Amino acid sequence: MELKDRYYNIRQHTEAICSPLQTEDYVVQPVVDVSPPKWHLGHTTWFFETFILKPYFMGYQEFDPDYNFVFNSYYETVGARVIRTDRGNLSRPSVIDIYRYRAYVDKAMYDFLCTEPSAEVKELLILGFNHEQQHQELLYYDIKYILGNNPLMPVYSKDYVSLKVEHIDAPWISIPEGVYEVGHTGDGFCFDNELNRHKVYLNAYEISPNQVTNGEYLEFIEANGYHDFRHWHMEGWGWVNENKIEAPMYWHLVDGEWHNYTFHGLQKLNLHDPVTHISYFEAYAYASWRGMRLPTEFEWEIAAPQFKWGKSWEWTESAYLPYPGFNKAPGAIGEYNGKFMVNQKVLRGASEATPPGHERITYRNFFPTNLRWLFNGIRLAR
Amino acid sequence: MELKDRYYNIRQHTEAICSPLQTEDYVVQPVVDVSPPKWHLGHTTWFFETFILKPYFMGYQEFDPDYNFVFNSYYETVGARVIRTDRGNLSRPSVIDIYRYRAYVDKAMYDFLCTEPSAEVKELLILGFNHEQQHQELLYYDIKYILGNNPLMPVYSKDYVSLKVEHIDAPWISIPEGVYEVGHTGDGFCFDNELNRHKVYLNAYEISPNQVTNGEYLEFIEANGYHDFRHWHMEGWGWVNENKIEAPMYWHLVDGEWHNYTFHGLQKLNLHDPVTHISYFEAYAYASWRGMRLPTEFEWEIAAPQFKWGKSWEWTESAYLPYPGFNKAPGAIGEYNGKFMVNQKVLRGASEATPPGHERITYRNFFPTNLRWLFNGIRLAR
Amino acid sequence: MELKDRYYNIRQHTEAICSPLQTEDYVVQPVVDVSPPKWHLGHTTWFFETFILKPYFMGYQEFDPDYNFVFNSYYETVGARVIRTDRGNLSRPSVIDIYRYRAYVDKAMYDFLCTEPSAEVKELLILGFNHEQQHQELLYYDIKYILGNNPLMPVYSKDYVSLKVEHIDAPWISIPEGVYEVGHTGDGFCFDNELNRHKVYLNAYEISPNQVTNGEYLEFIEANGYHDFRHWHMEGWGWVNENKIEAPMYWHLVDGEWHNYTFHGLQKLNLHDPVTHISYFEAYAYASWRGMRLPTEFEWEIAAPQFKWGKSWEWTESAYLPYPGFNKAPGAIGEYNGKFMVNQKVLRGASEATPPGHERITYRNFFPTNLRWLFNGIRLAR
Amino acid sequence: MELKDRYYNIRQHTEAICSPLQTEDYVVQPVVDVSPPKWHLGHTTWFFETFILKPYFMGYQEFDPDYNFVFNSYYETVGARVIRTDRGNLSRPSVIDIYRYRAYVDKAMYDFLCTEPSAEVKELLILGFNHEQQHQELLYYDIKYILGNNPLMPVYSKDYVSLKVEHIDAPWISIPEGVYEVGHTGDGFCFDNELNRHKVYLNAYEISPNQVTNGEYLEFIEANGYHDFRHWHMEGWGWVNENKIEAPMYWHLVDGEWHNYTFHGLQKLNLHDPVTHISYFEAYAYASWRGMRLPTEFEWEIAAPQFKWGKSWEWTESAYLPYPGFNKAPGAIGEYNGKFMVNQKVLRGASEATPPGHERITYRNFFPTNLRWLFNGIRLAR
């Protein structure tokens, strides 16, 4: 596909995700990890304006210099930023103004893309595409949180189609011990944290062809798993007790029956769906209670061609660390991945919120161990 | 005026205050003391629905039972409430739904008021009017905070007319010592905290005919008043240092010149205007630096007929305490005033945000000592 | 008594209070309001060294210049101080070093007092005596807290004699309305906050000849008083719920029977003793539940000659505010009382921990509304 | 050495570490990570009493049943524990009582060890020895913190002999890529987290024969390293700014010259000593600023035979994770290591506070990334 068309498609997809929202839904930030949808709309636009139009498109007139202050995220290089917890306090720029901002920047980008960009710019563009796709996924998380924590529990969209997952009635996959290669290969795009394909030594292991289901997870709850410290890390145990966690996020016991909030509103819990919205702490405790463990990210990567994945990001036991030879790019772009490489866990796979074509077997997603609003899940190893 | 007309006028005034807002401005809650404007719109409506329509209007159909959960404020008697800090997280009900709620309840109220209500209901109605007027004033505070803390500092309305205040070139007012009567008198409405007119003994005192101006307050700043602990209460000194307070709220030093945010946007500071948006701690420190003091609420009430007031609520030295014989009404209505009678200070007068006719010489406004987003001010005594 | 003898007696009394302690008990600070006993020993000594010996005793050699840093309390004028919460982290100076410091300063004071001091110094001396007496009372509070919150609940001293209180079988005391005079009178010592005797107007009221007993308070607990928001201030209700308060401090339900920690260790609750270790919030809620109220400090002062007091400080409904004409003394001594005159409540009377001769009918004690470690109590009015 | 003698020696060594302390130094807990020395003395004793004497020594009489409550650490299996932050509030049991407790248990242990224990008990004994040795090391950290944060900065002991470290003038050590074996081997004691010797694949790397010195680290400070976010993890950058970190712990700029607190008191900074008391965040930022990195724990283990180590624990880039096949032991003993395997970093080597014979090339020490009170350091890799 031509760059211009890819740009158009990706930008459209972002707006399509937001189309079922009411204006008010764009504005709020119920917790620090969630960003208001209007912020995502502005921030992804700011990325193209800041890293492509301003440096490379001669004569480009900035839409509004104050927007840099509002839509910068964590890029310390680029200037002062709105403290992250403050995003939900900003009623202006209004949603309409932000859509105008998008249209203005899109128009400039189309003009700019009429001539073939340099290799350097092309690389930035592709990064911008992937950046916006990451925010598409975050938009789903954040919208679900905003609607699912509202006492009225409104439906996001009746037309939302959830990914169906079939249980595979197959034995566990066995991988023999030995030296394997992991990391990105080929010419396609990848993030800097996947680069430097390298060898790792794996011991023999087995990995499940299926993700853990709601029904299986319910057994853990009913076996009192949330109240038995033996299954938990000490930090996880503190987290469970401090936050009085008793079930995955969005689960509600209504008149003795388990329900969960979905994009179609509150629904009876489907026991055959993969469990999701659990923290790493819970994934670990569940595995421990089963007498098993989570796979490492390398075990996952080597076995992945032999199972189905993509319903929800799968917690691994691996800490998010640099691959051998990893180097941050200079400048703001270099802040993309490297500076998060401490105290987070790698998730592998993809989720139903991942934009089509954005998934990759070497993709290293990462989150702190206590977060549950993302679309995540569990696959066991032993 | 007929009750029906008063009802109509008051309800209209609330909506008029909100008319310059964009939808997004109705939603946010930047700090815990501020409520989203849409919450005020819903809560004042809920008051009439809960305390008048549901108990007294036969056949009335509740608009939406979930709204009780969302729009109850602090009335512990009536049911579970949305924790106060959560108000800014609720994108639904939408602004349009809340206006529909208002219209629905208003329609029912008009029908209900076609027949003369009982004395008991009339009393509740009048309380409801005064309750909504209090929220009209809060709406101004909250809107100013929401817009004035936005990095774009938008104008609320070019048509907003600020109260002009003339400096009175007169000597200080002298009141001789003796026994005086304070508290509400006459047939008009008052809140329960003004009842029980009673005698107090006052020592001789003098009180200024003018409020302290921005210019006078600036002298305190320039004399390093914010950095000299001798003028401050210990608690105030802690507050100043912890919050790095250097000037009244909404003041900004731009290129060496003081500006302040107003409903017309950021403006050069008018030195002749009464200083406003200062905490009790600052009012006290200012008075102390001048070698004077704040009046008590009784000193204020006795002298008030001799000076102009109404530009901004005036901090007094009086703690907010019950008058002799004060009794809480039974039920939810009784929660109105009495339960706040600890660790707050009385403010007397009114502000330019006070709805016309709502002010009263015996009116006892009250706030905690650290709050600045209300429209307050300083009058000195000695 | 000669000044020298008074000095000796007061200094001895402080050490007598500490004599049953083990070295470790001198060191800890379990909560911010409690100071380690060794800090009291040092701080009261520092007061004499700083305000008398250094300025007035020619040739006096400071014991250790670092001690100013360690033993200053809240005197912002005198120099940097050890942040209050840090006091419990300081293992040095050791207890023995502090006793050596006391002996060194005492020796110098005896020498200094061999010649009759000037009137100005005499005034400071008397203030120093009263200051040390206040710390003697605090020592009892703090020691009780340190031992009573230790899981071993050790006995302070078998020889400690608790004040006995007889129930007076008399009708409530009636005071007619009128103008009364309050505040200190006569030549004796008083604190600056009692000065300026002045007139107040009191409405007719009745006040109980007895303090509320443990048995009476237990009725409030058993009537579910801690779980009925109607009796509480909103701030008090928040405090109760946040801190899960269910009974006075030091009360423990052991095998279904109420006990409380005393200086003799854990004892069965004596139902006839005055209730103590309750916050103002609890005192107010109790009174409110009884359909009565707490007296104001002026009601207390006028009626006090007609009842027995002195078992425990009695919460009043009065906020701690300056008397008419109150002025802070210049310098560090001026920080003594005035800067606390906001958001605190007055307590009147005295407690069994008050040093003999330190009590006074016009004495204005004051504490924030949530504190319970002091020896306080309830007397009802109506 | 006979078990009895080893027991005696280890127990003696603990007390020798404490012998220079004054009673007060045993009691305080200035921050949550530090435990009062008296708690270490009690807790290590409780370990032998709880896991050996009570289950295996017939007729043993517990010293005091309340001590279980006080000296349990994190062993959720064994019963309620004193919340960690509360340890510094406990003045009782007194230091003398704890020494009596030690003597009582030691006596019983000598009696018990007169007969050869079973293999199972012997294993517990050896674990107890190593457990006490770990607390010996912590005692040094905690004592240094307690004294070094006291404004008087007292000397721990003039007789304390600090480990001397010679700079080795040798080229960096080169390790070729390939499969290596890591993990414990042989019959000696090791912790469960070192077990399961297994293969890893290492890329070629170089590692420094020396630790980073104070002088080298000073260059980082002087190059403004603490103020340039590019060298830091985002979490580290937040930590630096929130805590206003400008130098390693215990460093003080006195009259323009760098000093640091040592067991001999405040000393001029020795530029040739290895830098210590830096967090992982700082170690990472320093390496990043040099354009290098920290070694992984496996890189360290493979290269360690070629360099000198043991002056201070060396931060590695490795997250603290289970080795393949790791299994927690059942019961309280199983809580020892496994439950910490999240969000911590591995340190390798030993420090001058490590008891002789306790160090091991496969030893996996671990701490959260922000802690600095331990004796740690930096070795670079590339």
**pLDDT band, very low/low/confident/very high, at C84 (cuts 50, 70, 90):** low
Q: D with B: 3 or more CB pairs under 8 Å?
A: no
User: Tell me, what's the pLDDT at C145?
Assistant: 97
Mean pLDDT over A284-311 rounds to: 97
Residues of chain A with C-beta less than 8 angstroms from the C-beta of D179: 179, 201
Residue A332 has pLDDT above 70, yes or no: no
CATH topology of domain A173-377: paralog of FGE (formylglycine-generating enzyme) (3.90.1580)
User: Tell me, what's the pLDDT at A80?
Assistant: 56
Which of A219-233, B324-338, D58-72 bottoms out in mean pLDDT, i.e. has the lowest? B324-338
Q: D106 to chain A, minimum CA–CA distance in Å? A: 31
User: Tell me, what's the pLDDT at A166?
Assistant: 85
Number of neighbours of residue D8 by Cβ within 10 angstroms: 16
| DSSP E strand boundaries for chain A | 173-175, 178-182, 198-202, 205-207, 251-254, 257-262, 265-268, 313-319, 345-348, 365-367, 376-377
How far is C-alpha D77 from the geometric centre of its chain's CA atoms?
24
D178 three-class SS: strand
- CB-CB: which of B24, B30, B92 is closest to A150? B92
CB contact under 8 A, D26 and C29: no
**pLDDT band, very low/low/confident/very high, at A86 (cuts 50, 70, 90):** confident
pLDDT 10s digits, B287-302: 999 999 999 999 999 9
pLDDT 10s digits, C40-82: 999 999 999 999 999 999 999 999 988 988 888 655 655 555 5
Are the C-beta atoms of residues A229 and A237 closer than 8 Å to each other? Answer: yes
CB contact under 8 A, D91 and C22: yes
Using CA atoms, how far apart are residues D6 and D116, in angstroms rounded to an integer? 14
Is the bond leading into A93 cis (omega within 30 degrees of zero)? yes
pLDDT 10s digits, C320-344: 999 999 987 776 676 678 899 999 9
User: Tell me, what's the pLDDT at B85?
Assistant: 56
Number of neighbours of residue D252 by Cβ within 10 angstroms: 14
> Is the model's pTM score more than 0.90?
yes
Average pLDDT, chain C: 94
pLDDT 10s digits, D240-261: 999 999 999 999 999 999 999 9
CB contact under 8 A, B92 and A22: yes
Q: Is the dihedral of CA B304, B309, B313, B316 positive or negative?
A: negative
Are the C-beta atoms of residues D368 and D140 closer than 8 Å to each other? Answer: no
User: Tell me, what's the pLDDT at B69?
Assistant: 80
Closest residue of A to D339, CA-based? A233
Using CA atoms, how far apart are residues B367 and D362, in angstroms rounded to an integer? 63
Residues of chain A with C-beta less than 8 angstroms from the C-beta of B79: none
User: Tell me, what's the pLDDT at B74?
Assistant: 58
Residues of chain A with C-beta less than 8 angstroms from the C-beta of D339: 232-234, 237
CB contact under 8 A, A199 and D203: yes
Q: What angle do CA D245, D246, D248 make, to 5 degrees?
A: 85
Residues of chain D whose beta carbon is less than 8 angstroms from a beta carbon of chain A are 74, 76-77, 177, 179, 198-201, 203, 229-230, 232-237, 280-281, 284, 293, 317-319, 321-322, 324-325, 334, 339-343, 369
Closest residue of D to A177, CA-based? D199
CB pairs under 8 A between A and B: 95
pLDDT 10s digits, A172-219: 999 999 999 999 999 999 999 999 999 999 999 999 999 999 999 999
Phi/psi-derived region of residue A255, left when phi > 0, alpha when psi is between -120 and 50, beta in every other case: left
Residue B81 has pLDDT above 60, yes or no: no
User: Tell me, what's the pLDDT at D128?
Assistant: 96
CB contact under 8 A, B92 and A23: no
Residues of chain B whose beta carbon is less than 8 angstroms from a beta carbon of chain A are 22-30, 38, 66, 69-70, 82, 86, 88-95, 146-147, 149-152, 154
Q: B44 to chain C, minimum CA–CA distance in Å? A: 21
Q: Which residue has the tokens 């003004």?
A: B194
User: Tell me, what's the pLDDT at C137?
Assistant: 98
Residues of chain D with C-beta less than 8 angstroms from the C-beta of C27: 24, 27-28, 91
What is the Cβ-side half-sphere exposure of residue C7, based on CA atoms within 13 angstroms? Answer: 23
Residue B80 has pLDDT above 60, yes or no: no
CB pairs under 8 A between B and C: 75
Number of neighbours of residue D165 by Cβ within 10 angstroms: 18
User: Tell me, what's the pLDDT at C130?
Assistant: 96
Instruction: Give me the percent of chain D exceeding a pLDDT of 90.
Output: 87
Residue B313 has pLDDT above 70, yes or no: yes
Average pLDDT, chain D: 94
- CB-CB: which of B22, B70, B89 is closest to A30? B89
Task: Transcribe C233-259 into DSSP letters.
Answer: -HHHHHHHHHTT--SSTTEEEETTEEE
- CB-CB: which of D76, D232, D236 is closest to A229? D76
Virtual CA dihedral for C339, C344, C349, C354, nearest 10 degrees? Answer: -60
In a mutational test of the A interface, the residue from D339, D341, D370 whose CB has the highest number of chain A CBs within 10 Å is D339
Residues of chain C whose beta carbon is less than 8 angstroms from a beta carbon of chain B are 74, 76-77, 177, 179, 198-201, 203, 229-230, 232-237, 280-281, 284, 293, 317-319, 321-322, 324-325, 334, 339-343, 369
- Label the pairing between strands C376-377 and C313-319: parallel
Number of neighbours of residue B305 by Cβ within 10 angstroms: 9
Identify residue B26 by its one-letter amino acid code. Answer: Y
Question: How is residue B223 written in tokens?
Answer: 């004399």
Give start and end residues of each alpha helix (H) in C257-320: 280-289, 297-303
**Residues near C89 by Cβ (< 8 Å), separated by ≥ 6?**
C29, D28, D29, D30, D88, D146, D149, D150
Residue C26 has pLDDT above 70, yes or no: yes
Using CA atoms, how far apart are residues A102 and A45, in angstroms rounded to an integer? 6
What pairs with residue D257 in β-bridges?
D254
Nearest C-alpha neighbor of B10 from the set B115, B106, B144, B108: B106
Using CA atoms, how far apart are residues B200 and C341, in angstroms rounded to an integer? 21
pLDDT 10s digits, A11-24: 999 999 999 999 99
Using CA atoms, how far apart are residues A379 and A313, in angstroms rounded to an integer? 10
Using CA atoms, how far apart are residues A259 and A249, in angstroms rounded to an integer? 11
Is the bond leading into B93 cis (omega within 30 degrees of zero)? yes
Question: How is residue C120 written in tokens?
Answer: 């100005």
- CB-CB: which of A24, A30, A82 is closest to B23? A24
Q: At what angle do helices B119-148 and B3-18 cross, to 10 degrees?
A: 10
Are the C-beta atoms of residues B242 and B249 closer than 8 Å to each other? Answer: no
CB contact under 8 A, C92 and D154: yes
Residue D84 has pLDDT above 70, yes or no: no
User: Tell me, what's the pLDDT at D130?
Assistant: 96
pLDDT 10s digits, D13-36: 999 999 999 999 999 999 989 999
Residues of chain C with C-beta less than 8 angstroms from the C-beta of D27: 24, 27-28, 91
Residues of chain A with C-beta less than 8 angstroms from the C-beta of D230: 77, 334
- CB-CB: which of B198, B281, B342 is closest to C369? B342
In a mutational test of the D interface, the residue from C24, C86, C156 whose CB has the highest number of chain D CBs within 10 Å is C24
For residue B362, which phi and psi values (nearest 5 degrees)?
-100, 5
Residue D79 has pLDDT above 70, yes or no: no
Residue A297 has pLDDT above 60, yes or no: yes
User: Tell me, what's the pLDDT at B82?
Assistant: 59
Question: How is residue D16 written in tokens?
Answer: 């020798």
In a mutational test of the D interface, the residue from A175, A196, A343 whose CB has the highest number of chain D CBs within 10 Å is A343
User: Tell me, what's the pLDDT at A329?
Assistant: 73
Using CA atoms, how far apart are residues B233 and B217, in angstroms rounded to an integer? 18
Task: Transcribe D77-104 into DSSP letters.
Answer: TT-----GGGGGG---S-HHHHHHHHHH
Using CA atoms, how far apart are residues A189 and D65, in angstroms rounded to an integer? 65
Nearest C-alpha neighbor of C364 from the set C317, C290, C308, C297: C297
**pLDDT band, very low/low/confident/very high, at D337 (cuts 50, 70, 90):** confident
Nearest C-alpha neighbor of B224 from the set B271, B286, B272: B286
In a mutational test of the A interface, the residue from B38, B92, B94, B266 whose CB has the highest number of chain A CBs within 10 Å is B92
Residues of chain C with C-beta less than 8 angstroms from the C-beta of D28: 27-28, 88-91
User: Tell me, what's the pLDDT at A164?
Assistant: 87
Residues of chain C with C-beta less than 8 angstroms from the C-beta of B236: 342
Q: SS3 helix, strand, coil % of chain D, rounded to 5?
A: 40, 15, 45
Length of chain A: 382
**DSSP letter assigned to residue A163:** P
Q: What angle do CA B276, B280, B285 make, to 5 degrees?
A: 95
Closest residue of C to D22, CA-based? C94
- What residue segments make up the domains of chain A, in order of their start? 3-148, 173-377
Are the C-beta atoms of residues A28 and A88 closer than 8 Å to each other? Answer: yes
